Structure formats: C-alpha cells, structure tokens
Amino acid sequence: MNPEQFVQELSKRNFKLNKNQINQFNQYFNSLIEANKHVNLTRITAEDDVYLKHFYDSITPLLAFSTVFKSSSSLCDVGAGAGFPSIPLKIMLPELQVTIVDSLGKRLNFLQDLIAQLGLKDVALVHGRAEDVGQNSRYREQFDIVTARAVANMAVLSEYCLPLVKKGGNFIALKGPKAEDELGTSKKALSILGGKTAAVKQLQLPQNAEERTLILIEKVKATPKKYPRQAGTPHRKPIH
C-alpha cells in the first residue's frame, strides 16, 4: 500500500486526509526509518509495508468502532513501541488527548522527537511498566479509551489495560488472526477486572488480506484495588 493508495483507502471509508495529515504520515515514515538504523523499532521497513502494516493497521479501531472515538477523547496506549496505534490515531483525530506508556527509554526518546517533528499537541509520554502506571492514581481509571497492539495474550493484556480505563470507557485490543480463542481463556480476568466484551471484529488488511482481530471491551465496573499486581506477575501468573 503506497501513500496514495493509503489516502484513497481511507477516503473510501469517509476519512479524507488533508495535506497536513498526508505530510505527517510521510514524515512519520521517514523518521521511523532513520531512527530504526540506531534503535530497534520495527522489522517492517519497506514503505508500502509500513503504510499497510503499521499506519493502516493502527487506524483499524477507528474504522471499526468509530462511535467509541469522540474528537476530544483521552486515549492511553500501552506498550506503544514506535507509536502504534496511538500516533496514527492522533494524526487522524488531532483533538485526541494521548498518553503513551512504554518501559523502554530509547523508544520514548524517538517518540518525543517524532511528536515535535509532527507538531502534535496533547501527547504525554510515560516511562514505566503498565502494572506500575495502573496503580498510579494520576492514571488509574482516567482514560476514555485504552489501546494495546500485539503486546500479550488477552488475560495478561486485560490486567495491563483495564485498570487504566474509566468506568464507561473502552479497552481496544489489536490482535492477529483467530484471537477469539483468547477471549475464552480471558473471561475470568475480564470479569474480575471490570470488563465486558462488547464486540469482536475480524477484518482483512486491504491488498494482502492479512487477518486481524479487534476486540472491544467495555469497562462496566471499577477494577479492584489489588490489580494490576506488581510488575511481572500478570505475565507469570495470568488470571485464569
């Protein structure tokens, strides 16, 4: 998917990019490739692949669950790496208030430079592990939307993300193919942590037909204080 096809595909879905947004994606690509020479940010480096498998892929929650995204929603992206999905979503919705949580300083340094280059406002970077951030009253249950892309299985991911979602808000997991199986094993975790499955959407990326699954979890009640457990525990001992 080259940049022109990217713009056309979004236009078909009633998202018309202006010149500034097109330039921002172009700058994002160039910055990513340049920084990737020094810091391991992505294995995907061909322009067509970055536009499809990073940029377009990151925007799929907005295409699938557009009603969840209000222009001034607060969004927290857990384990964003090189800024996926939050920075493409921010470019699409400039009013979105974004907080990015990542445990690796080098990635956050890249994002800090990127945010400045793209002229993005209302993007906060938090250096820390999701478990610690989820217990911090400044962030706990503060966000309308929490996203995570390819970070861990659903039971673990729910413990990272649901404590950050405010009651009535939503957690969106961006997963690969056949991710509904994970939902079965994460039912207990979702229930304990205050979440309820609202929708599961399977889709194929345009052009290469790679399969993706988007899981929308609604936060229906507050997360008990003991969650998230201390760093490393959710991964070692998922709630089952």
Q: How many other C-beta atoms are found inside a 10 Å radius of the C-beta of residue 71?
A: 8
Per-residue exposure over 188-217, b if at least 16 CB sit within 10 Å of its own CB, e if not = ebbebbbbeebeeeeeebeeeeeebbbbbb
131 is in an annotated binding site: yes
Residue 46 is assigned to a ligand binding site: no
55 marked as binding residue: no
Q: Is 29 annotated for ligand binding?
A: no
> Are the C-beta atoms of residues 79 and 101 closer than 8 Å to each other?
yes
| Backbone φ/ψ region at 175: left (φ over 0), alpha (ψ -120 to 50), beta | beta
Q: Collapse the DSSP code of 82 into the 3-class scheme (helix H, G, I; strand E, B; otherwise coil) and give the result.
A: coil
Among residues 106, 233, 228, 212, the alpha carbon closest in space to that of 165 is found at 228
Q: What secondary structure does DSSP assign to 84-125, as a single string? A: TTHHHHHHHSTT-EEEEEES-HHHHHHHHHHHHHHT--SEEE
Residue 79 annotated as part of some ligand binding site: yes
The closest of 169, 175, 171, 176 to 160, measured between CA atoms, is: 171
> Which residues define the annotated binding site for S-adenosyl-L-methionine?
79, 84, 130-131, 149
Which residues line the annotated binding site? 79, 84, 130-131, 149
